[in-house]
Amino acid sequence: MVNLVDFTAKASCRVIPFTSQDPSDGFEVITDPHDPISSPNGWHQYGTTSTTTTSGNNVISYKSSISGVSSQSSETNNYNYVFNSATAPTVSPNVDAARVNAFYVGNMIHDLTYRYGFTETSYNFQQNNNGLGGAQNDRVEISVQDSFGSNNAVFGTPPDGQPGQMLMFLWTYTSPQGDGALENDIVTHEYGHGISNRLTGGGTATCLQTTESQGLGEGWSDALADWTEQKSATERPFTLGSYVYTKNIRTYPYSTNTTVNPRTYATLNDLTATHSIGEVWALIWHEIYAALIEKHGFTTEKNNPDLTAGNTVALHLYIDGMKLQPCNPTFIAARNAVIQADANRYGGANKCLLWTAYAKRGLGYGATTTKVDSKTLPPEC
């Protein structure tokens, strides 16, 4: 979180760790969390500008206006604001805790996905691209406790070169109210919209427009949150929104157990809402993730894209598939792009594993746009 030219200063922030979900998991003071490859100048510098606020090259988090940022609590960019769960989210120091956590999570997603290919030339979000191509001046602007709405969050993705807009709202299901900026899965989900909208169709941000492709977008966002919060090789059902909503905001947990989550490709015939459609795609990604972990194992070195662990492979296929798929993809087109991504990067080493995961949830070799479940595999599998 500090310019690497300054070898003595250590930046830090009190946050909910990236692999945790919400305040119930506890806050930690994390020192220098930036990735030196993804953010070589740290999180608080862009061009010739250095900051001592929740403003930097990848993200700015604020309340009410772009100038409503949090300042460092002590020198060298330390942000140590202790969240008080007994008081309203809108009072100090809770507002600062929200801005700092949103800033942290947004930057962590930038740094993670940068390592896997969401870079300047792939239309990512940065204020300064350091001469590495792509359009700049488009960091993600996170408005915490935004007055535009409640019990939700939204992300606006313009084309490359214009800032991403993340609006985080307060939630009214608890007293005191819950703050979406303090639920990492919600921040990650919203940032995921920026990734899928930028990567699909080449940076135009106009290629997830059909209902089905918008549903895929919701699914990718849930799947990214699922990926970031898995901590071990043990398959763990994943839920979202439990802190602010008091329970899973999705219909079922994401689980490989078909009793826990019975949804399949054919379920789409009964679903019209994009979030519901997304539940099927995120579930399929949960199946892919679990199968890759079972085959290749798990690593906690999530920012190292050169490893062979299952979660490493999964995120490569996730990013690569988006780059390959057509504008306004269907489930079948998105599936085929992932199969092709595996062929391109891994020589098809996971082809039959992927087909098996797809087939388990009805998106097998014989699936068509009529959305009848197909459990079949290609002949070579």
Binding-site positions: 189, 193, 218
Residue-wise DSSP of 285-348? HHHHHHHHHHHH---S-TT-TT--SHHHHHHHHHHHHHHHSPSS--HHHHHHHHHHHHHHHHTT
Q: Which two tokens stand for residue 268?
A: 């789409």
The H or E element containing residue 13 is strand 12-15
Alpha-carbon span 17 to 23, nearest angstrom: 10
- String of b and e for 351-374 (b: at least 16 CB within 10 Å)? bebbbbbbbbbbbbeebeeebebb
Q: Which two tokens stand for residue 99?
A: 């801005």
Binding-site positions for Zn(2+): 189, 193, 218
Q: With CA atoms as reference, report the closest residue to 13 among 103, 141, 94, 86.
A: 103
Residues noted as catalytic:
190
Alpha-carbon span 157 to 149, nearest angstrom: 18
The H or E element containing residue 212 is helix 211-229
Residue-wise DSSP of 136-198? -S--EEEETT-TT-BS-EEEE--STTS-EEEEE-EE-SSSSPEEGGG-HHHHHHHHHHHHHHH
Q: What angle do CA 106, 241, 292 make, to 5 degrees?
A: 70
Q: Which two tokens stand for residue 281?
A: 């795609």
Q: Give 242: exposed, middle or buried? Use CB within 10 Å, 0-12, 13-18, 19+.
A: middle
